[in-house]
């Protein structure tokens, strides 16, 4: 028997090792959402991000000058917009008082830098240099001045990982700013698309897409992108609307984490796709 | 053997840092070359199939842990990629396999296997066009990785004779 086993091992050891490692990998895939695995991951990427943040700073020094110029220009434009918005805000407050609406704006922002990126076509993630210590929590939205970048997925002491919109595991409820029609947006590995849009909806090419207040992940409007036409599905009553994001995920370096987590009450009532993958 | 593993893991750490900080800067569209796979193929060819398989598993584990991708997806992909690359580990042909064009072809094959498995385990949308998925998610990254590997292998010193 031992001789037989020895002979099997000698002849097929490469295949036996491959099989064992593949089975082990499959087992680990099935354990992805266990708290123990999440803890190990938080420690691992926290440690790794400490090193990459130094390298990232060095790499990004060159682009800082150009970015500074762009920021100055943005600042000037924002200053002009701000004076307009101040005027609008005063009127808005008066109107809100009249219709007794709650204010949903004014969330504090946590500034962060991207220390590393994993730009796989299906699982885009970025590592940020803010974590538990900065009050970052799982589920907080990540934005830039252009729009939504993603959602915080995992947090360690000083660092956090965010899933970008180019991640098949992230689905967000969005709406057309013009028509107010809602839909579920996801990354299909190729494009950002709003799926199952009834053909009766009037979403047109060039419409601005923003997050919907129906979303339990980003419950206030944040710009996402522009509609770039529909992938007309021949059969059925639904269309797919292609969305071009405002943010270039490959180039994003500085972001803000919005210090808010969706209401627990809403979470318990709605299907929260983030929770599903944790 | 154990010492070899330590060396290959130590080399892996700076490569992983470069992969997550510098490599995104040379991405074309969303096509990113995989430096870790190039390193894995090199070790699979020079050290053998079992070594490549185990090393692929270790590299995949570390990669999944630090990048936030589905834990296990890179592990399984790189384990199989290391195994495939290990078929080209015949001791008396190592120098031939490490030649510019041959090495590129082996990297292309291993990267193709790696990307197909990785895409499959990254909860892929089945409703998308399979051929397009294969082309964009597997073929293009594999091709880019192979091109880069041919440039890198020029600067790698020739292996000492055993």
Q: How many domains are contained in chain A? A: 1
Please tell me the distance in Å from B7's CA to the nearest CA on chain A.
18
Q: Quote the CA–CA distance of A215 and B63 in Å, as a whole number.
A: 31
A25 — contact with chain B (CB < 8 Å)? yes
Instruction: Determine the pLDDT at residue A104.
Output: 55
Q: Angle, nearest 10°, between helix axes B49-67 and B35-47?
A: 160
B162 falls within a domain: no
For residue A103, the model assigns a pLDDT of 57
- The set of residues, in sequence order, having a beta carbon less than 8 Å from that of A7 and lying 6+ positions away, is none
Determine the Cα–Cα distance for residues A6 and B84; give it in Å rounded to an integer: 24
pLDDT of residue B162: 42
Query: Cβ contacts (< 8 Å) between B135 and chain A: which residues?
Result: none
Query: Is residue A15 in a domain?
Result: no
In a domain, B64, yes or no: yes
Q: What's the DSSP call for residue B31? A: B
Q: What is the CATH classification number for the domain harbouring A200?
A: 2.40.10.340
What is d(CA A218, CA A246) in angstroms, rounded to the nearest whole number?
A: 16
Is A168 within the bounds of a domain? yes
The minimal CB distance from A123 to the residues B57, B69, B125 is found for B69
Residue B65: list chain A partners with CB under 8 A: 40-41, 44-45, 48
Is A96 a domain residue? no
CB contact under 8 A, B66 and A123: no
Full residue range of the structural domain in which residue A155 is found: 109-262
Chains A, B: CB pairs < 8 Å = 150
Chain A residue with Cα closest to B56: A21
Q: Is residue B161 part of a domain?
A: no
Tens digits of residue pLDDT in B16-59: 988 888 888 888 877 889 999 999 999 999 999 999 999 999 99
Q: What is the model's pLDDT at position B128?
A: 62
Cβ–Cβ contact B76 with A under 8 A: yes
Whether A231 is in a domain gets the answer yes
B160 assigned to some structural domain:
no
CATH at residue B8:
1.10.1760.20
pLDDT digit string (tens) for chain A, length 278 residues: 888 888 888 888 889 999 999 999 999 888 887 888 888 888 888 888 888 888 877 777 777 777 777 787 787 778 778 877 877 888 787 777 777 655 555 678 888 888 888 877 777 889 898 998 888 988 899 988 888 899 998 888 888 999 998 888 888 888 888 888 888 898 887 788 888 788 777 778 888 888 888 877 787 788 889 988 776 665 567 788 889 998 888 888 888 888 876 555 455 454 444 454 44
| A186, A176 contact by CB (below 8 A) | no
Q: In sequence order, which ranges of chain A are alpha helices (DSSP H)?
A: 2-30, 35-99, 264-269, 273-276
Cβ within 8 Å of B, A 51-70: 51-52, 55-56, 59
- Contact yes or no for A41 and B57 at CB 8 A: no
Percent of chain B, pLDDT > 90?
A: 47
Would the CB atoms of A119 and B66 count as touching at under 8 Å? Answer: no
- Give the pLDDT confidence score for residue A247 in this predicted structure: 87
Task: Count Cα atoms within 13 angstroms, Cβ side, for A238.
Answer: 8
Q: What angle do CA A39, A172, A53 make, to 5 degrees?
A: 45
Contact A184/B at CB under 8 A: no
Please tell me the predicted confidence (pLDDT) of residue A277. 46
DSSP 8-state secondary structure symbol assigned to residue A212:
-
User: Which of A53, A131, A189, A242 to mutate to probe the B interface, most B CBs <10 Å?
Assistant: A189
Does the CB of A120 have a partner CB in chain B at under 8 Å?
yes
Q: What angle do CA B89, B93, B96 make, to 5 degrees?
A: 110
Nearest in space to A193 (alpha carbons), one of A184, A201, A202: A184
Q: Please indicate if any CB of chain A lies within 8 Å of the CB of B4.
A: no
B106 part of a folded domain: yes
Residue A57 within any structural domain of the chain? no
Name the residue among A28, A29, A189 with its Cβ closest to that of B137.
Answer: A189
pLDDT at B123: 56
| A150: β partners | A142, A164
Given a contact cutoff of 8 angstroms between Cβ atoms, the answer to whether A156 and A140 are in contact is no
- At A266 the pLDDT is 53
Residue A13 within a domain: no
Q: Which residues of B touch A21 (CB under 8 A)?
A: 53-54, 57, 75, 79
Q: Total structural domains in chain B?
A: 1
Residues near B67 by beta carbon (within 8 Å), at least 6 away in sequence: A45, A116, A118, A125, A127, A161, B20, B74
Judge whether A232 lies within some domain: yes
Q: How far is A116 from chain B (nearest CA, A)?
A: 5
Residue among A29, A121, A125 whose CB faces B68 most closely: A125
Q: Is A146 helix (H, G, I), strand (E, B) or coil?
A: coil
0.90 exceeded by pTM: no
pLDDT tens series, chain B, 162 aa: 567 788 898 999 999 988 888 888 888 877 889 999 999 999 999 999 999 999 999 999 999 988 878 888 899 999 999 999 999 988 788 888 888 889 999 999 999 999 989 888 775 565 666 777 778 788 999 999 999 999 999 888 765 544
State which residue of chain A sits closest to B117, comparing Cα positions: A22
Output DSSP code: residue A134: G
Given this model, what pLDDT does residue B142 score?
93
Please judge whether B68 and A45 are an interchain contact, meaning their C-beta atoms are less than 8 angstroms apart: yes
Supply the DSSP symbol for A102: P
Q: Is the C-alpha dihedral spanning A103, A104, A105, A110 positive or negative? A: positive
Q: What is the pLDDT of residue A76?
A: 75
Interface of B with A in 116-155 (CB under 8 A): 118-119, 121-125, 127-128, 132-133, 136-137, 141
Q: Which residue in A has a C-alpha nearest to residue B135's C-alpha?
A: A190
Whether B90 has its CB under 8 Å from any CB of chain A: the answer is no
Alpha-helix residue ranges (DSSP H) falling in A161-252: none
Beta strands in chain B (DSSP E): none
In a domain, A33, yes or no: no
Domain that holds residue B107: 1-155
Helix axes of B35-47 and B73-86: crossing angle, nearest 10 degrees: 40
- Is A127 in contact with B20 (Cβ distance < 8 A)? yes
Prediction ipTM score: 0.88
Decide if B91 touches A, using CB distance below 8 A: no
> pLDDT tens for residues A34-45?
888 888 888 888
Find, among A163, A182, A165, the residue nearest to A174 by Cα: A182
Considering only CA atoms, which of B32, B43, B19 is closest in space to residue B156? B43
């Amino acid at each position: 028997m031992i001789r037989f086993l020895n002979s099997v091992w000698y002849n097929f050891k490469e295949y036996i090792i491959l099989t064992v490692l593949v089975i082990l990998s499959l087992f680990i895939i099935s354990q992805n959402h266990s708290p123990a695995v999440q803890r190990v991951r938080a420690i691992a990427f926290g440690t790794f991000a400490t090193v990459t943040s130094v390298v990232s700073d060095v790499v990004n020094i060159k682009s800082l000058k150009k970015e500074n110029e762009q920021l100055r220009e943005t600042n000037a434009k924002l200053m002009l917009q701000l004076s307009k918005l101040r005027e609008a805000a005063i009127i808005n407050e008066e109107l809100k008082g009249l219709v007794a609406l709650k204010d949903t704006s004014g969330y504090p922002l946590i500034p962060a830098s991207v220390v590393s990126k994993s730009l796989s076509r299906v699982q885009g993630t970025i590592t940020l240099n803010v974590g538990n210590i900065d009050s970052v929590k799982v589920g907080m939205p990540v934005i830039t001045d252009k729009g939504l970048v993603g959602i915080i997925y995992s947090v360690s002491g000083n660092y956090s990982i965010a899933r970008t919109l180019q991640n098949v595991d992230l689905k967000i409820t969005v709406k057309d700013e013009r028509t107010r029609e809602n839909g579920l947006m996801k990354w299909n590995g190729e494009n950002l698309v709003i799926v199952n849009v009834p053909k009766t909806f009037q979403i047109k090419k060039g419409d601005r897409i923003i997050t919907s207040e129906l979303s339990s992940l980003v419950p206030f409007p944040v710009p996402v992108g522009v509609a770039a036409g529909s992938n007309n599905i021949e059969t059925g009553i639904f269309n797919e609307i292609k969305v071009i994001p405002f943010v270039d995920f490959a180039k994003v370096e500085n972001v803000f984490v919005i210090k808010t987590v969706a209401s627990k009450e809403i979470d318990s009532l709605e299907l929260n796709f983030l929770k599903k993958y944790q | 053997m154990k010492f070899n593993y330590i060396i290959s893991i130590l080399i892996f750490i700076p490569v992983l840092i470069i992969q997550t900080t510098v490599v995104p800067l040379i991405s074309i569209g969303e096509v990113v070359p995989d430096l870790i796979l190039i390193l894995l193929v090199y070790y699979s060819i020079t050290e053998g199939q079992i070594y490549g398989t185990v090393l692929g598993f270790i590299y995949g584990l570390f990669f999944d842990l630090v990048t936030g991708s589905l834990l296990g997806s890179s592990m399984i992909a790189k384990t199989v990629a290391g195994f495939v690359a290990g078929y080209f580990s015949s001791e008396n042909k190592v120098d031939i396999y490490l030649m510019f064009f041959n090495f590129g072809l082996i990297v292309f094959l291993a990267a193709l296997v790696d990307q197909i498995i990785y895409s499959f385990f990254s909860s892929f949308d089945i409703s998308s066009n399979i051929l397009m998925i294969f082309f964009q998610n597997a073929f293009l990254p594999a091709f880019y990785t192979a091109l880069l590997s041919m440039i890198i292998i020029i600067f790698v010193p020739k292996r000492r004779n055993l």
